Structure formats: C-alpha cells, structure tokens
Amino acid sequence: MPDPRDIALALALGLLALLFLRWLWRRAAARFTAWNRMRRSLRGERKAEKLLKRHGFSILDRQVPCTYAVLVDDEPVNIELRADLLVQNDEGIFVAEVKTGRSAPRIRNAATRRQLLEYAVAYDAIGVLLVDMEIGEFSVVRFPL
C-alpha cells in the first residue's frame, strides 16, 4: 500500500503543475488578445487614412504625441497623449481618432467622449474626427469650449 505522504505529495505537485499551466495559458491568451487588438487597430488606421484621403484630407502625421499641462493645486502636471492621426483639409487641421468595435466609435460612449474632449483641448486643431472603421464613416466632433 502506498504511503499517504507520497500520495499527498503527488497530489500537491500535480495541483502546482495544473496551476502553473493555467497561469501560462492565461498569459498566452492575454498576449494573443493584445497582439490581435493591436493588429486590428493598425489595420483600422490604414483603412482610415484611405477613407479620409477620399474625403479631401491629407495626412500630416501618424501616432502624434502631445504633452500638455494641467494645474493641480496650482502645480503643473504634464499629461502625455498620442493621437492616431493629424489630418488637414481646406477648413484646417483636425485630430483623427480611429475606433473599431461596436461601442467605442459612439460619441455617447463616455470613455470615447472624454478622450475626444481631451484631444480637442490638448491639440491645436479645429476639431476632432471620430472615425468608425466598423462602418467606414467618420464624424466631425467639435466641443463648445
């Protein structure tokens, strides 16, 4: 008859092995999800450029960094942003934010609306383009600041 301690040790090692495999699986799944999201985002941005060019915009820059300061208790705090595209037409310069998915491209989505408002404040642009690559359309968003 096997020693109960050997059985307990084998069960504990088996459980540890299963937990380790579960951790590896979750890690791989998270990496795949992030990779897939990035790939979809880049593909959406390329398609957005073509869409905006067809509507008379020229692409000035991609993945445009911006830093602006906000005052917190009268102390400046620098905030860093990165917009998908900076584009221009006869009217002027716009920041373009490319969205994929069902809810993200909607102005009623609070996170999207806050992001566009922040872009409107931080970038020296006359408006923000909300580009919905699920339907291949864009909206011009202006905030009454």
Count of structural domains within the chain: 1
What angle is formed at CA 51 by the lines to CA 36 and CA 94, rounded to 5 degrees? 95
CATH number at residue 87: 3.90.320.10
Q: Which residues are within 8 A (CB) of 119 and not within 5 positions of it... i.e. 6 or more apart? A: 81, 83, 95, 97, 125, 128
Please, which pLDDT band fits residue 14 given cuts at 50, 70 and 90? confident
Domain contains 103: yes
Domain contains 108: yes
Structural domain including 134 reads: 41-141
37-94 tens-digit pLDDT: 777 777 878 899 999 999 999 999 999 999 999 999 999 999 999 999 999 999 999 9
Domain contains 23: no
E-assigned strand segments in the chain: 58-72, 75-89, 92-99, 127-132, 137-141
Domain contains 3: no
81-132 tens-digit pLDDT: 999 999 999 999 999 999 987 766 788 889 999 999 999 999 988 999 999 9
Cβ proximity of 54 and 17 under 8 Å? no
What pLDDT shows up at residue 61? 94
Read off the tokens for 12.
Answer: 């504990």
User: For residue 48, how many other CB atoms are within 10 A of its CB?
Assistant: 26
